[in-house]
Amino acid sequence: MVSRGPRRRGRRARTRRARPADRGRRRSLRRTRPIRPRPAHPRHRQHPRRRRGDARARRVRLRAGQGRARRSEVRPAPTRSVRGQAPGHLPFGRHRQVLHRAVERADPRRGDRGVSDAIRATDATAPWNPLVTALVPTYNGAAFIQRTLDSLEAQTWPNLEILIGDDRSTDDTLDVVRRFAERHPRTRIVERDENLGWLRNSNDLMDRAAGELQFFAFHDDVVAPTYVERLVAALAANEHAVLAFSDMHVHELDGRLELHVFDELEGLHSPVERGRVMVSRPGFWWVPNRGLFRTTAFREVGGIHPNEQGEYSADWTWLLGLSLIGEFVRVPEVLCTKHYTAGSLSKTWPHDLDQVAALRRSGVAEVRRSSLPTRKKAVLAGYLMRRVYGRRLPGGVKRVFRRMGL
Q: SS3 of 354, please?
A: helix
Question: 269, 134, 148: which is closest to 214 by C-alpha?
Answer: 134
Q: What is the pLDDT of residues 183-238, one digit of tens each?
A: 999 999 999 999 999 999 999 999 999 999 999 999 989 999 999 999 999 999 99
Please give the distance of CA 284 from its chain centroid, rounded to a whole number: 22
- Report pLDDT for 312: 85
Q: State the CB neighbour count (10 A cutoff) for residue 315.
A: 19
The structural domains of the chain, ordered by start, are 132-349 (3.90.550.10)
- Report pLDDT for 342: 76
Task: Report residues of the chain scoring pLDDT below 50.
Answer: 57, 60, 62-63, 68-77, 79-84, 86-89, 95-122, 391-394, 396-398, 400-401, 404, 406
- pTM (2 decimals)? 0.66
Tell me the CB-side half-sphere exposure of residue 110, using CA atoms within 13 A.
17
Separation of alpha carbons 128 and 161, rounded Å: 17
The sign of the dihedral angle between the CA atoms of 151, 152, 153, 155 is positive
On whether the CB atoms of residues 383 and 406 are closer than 8 A, the answer is yes
On whether the CB atoms of residues 338 and 248 are closer than 8 A, the answer is yes
Separation of alpha carbons 177 and 165, rounded Å: 10
Question: 293, 283, 292: which is closest to 250 by C-alpha?
Answer: 283
Longest dimension (CA), the chain: 134
Exposure pattern of 99-133 as b/e (b: 16+ CB <10 Å)?
A: eebbeeeeeeeebbbeeeebeebeeeeeeeebbbb
Query: 329, exposed or middle or buried, with CB in 10 Å at 0-12, 13-18, 19+?
Result: buried
Q: Angle at which helices 374-389 and 395-403 pack, to 10 degrees? A: 130
- Report pLDDT for 170: 95
Question: 89, 90, 91, 93: which is closest to 295 by C-alpha?
Answer: 93
Q: State the CB neighbour count (10 A cutoff) for residue 50.
A: 9
Query: 287, exposed or middle or buried, with CB in 10 Å at 0-12, 13-18, 19+?
Result: buried
For 314-340, give the secondary structure using H, E and C.
HHHHHHHHHHCCCEEEEEEEEEEEEEC
